[in-house]
Chains A and B, each alone.
Chain A
Amino acid sequence: DSGVTQTPKHLITATGQRVTLRCSPRSGDLSVYWYQQSLDQGLQFLIQYYNGEERAKGNILERFSAQQFPDLHSELNLSSLELGDSALYFCASSDSPMASGEQYFGPGTRLTVT
């Protein structure tokens, strides 16, 4: 158990819909990272927040947004969903603002868009 929690575990929704994925980081970690894992694409970095502020941005679509709240939990919002958005979404946390420390991954949310 990494100490990072993600809800829900599974999500099935239709094209055009909007969903919110939630992540609670490990106790004491200020950084939250979001990743998308598709079958042949490995782990795609989406976005990082550190202590409530956006720290780094990866290949995140404009239809996707995220935020980190004062209690440090984070939410990833996916809107106007397309079939290609079906993937495993991981949240990870670390105690560093930089990518120079171990990242602890949550169990992931499997999103299926039909």
Chain B
Amino acid sequence: GQQVMQIPQYQHVQEGEDFTTYCNSSTTLSNIQWYKQRPGGHPVFLIQLVKSGEVKKQKRLTFQFGEAKKNSSLHITATQTTDVGTYFCAGGGSQGNLIFGKGTKLSVKP
């Protein structure tokens, strides 16, 4: 079935460093969504990208959707301790469901 691969699985950074997580699909996605799950919490929607090559920014977070709509990235500039958590991408599949990547767990050392 359709899969969305996400790398890296873990990322440890010093506060102030940048962070990037990548998602790749073997098939074209109708859209890509990003979620953040804090430790002990539930996934919370961050953003959705729909158009080929789309770039969206939310303060220190930059989201990109690839030209072929098969990959996406989330970049955080100057990480803070509040950025700690697991970041999931989720691609729109052919059945109309969301296919989640396994997530990137971010830890930030103060």
Contacts and interface: CB of A to CB of B under 8 A. Distances in A.
Interface residues of B, number: 26
A104 B102 contact: no
A112 interface: no
Contacts of A2: 42, 44
Contacts, number: 68
Interface string A24-45: 0000000001010000111111
29 contacts: A2-B42, A2-B44, A35-B100, A40-B102, A43-B88, A43-B90, A43-B100, A43-B103, A45-B97, A45-B98, A45-B100, A48-B96, A56-B95, A56-B97, A58-B97, A90-B42, A98-B92, A98-B96, A99-B90, A100-B30, A100-B48, A100-B50, A101-B48, A103-B43, A103-B45, A104-B45, A105-B35, A105-B42, A105-B44
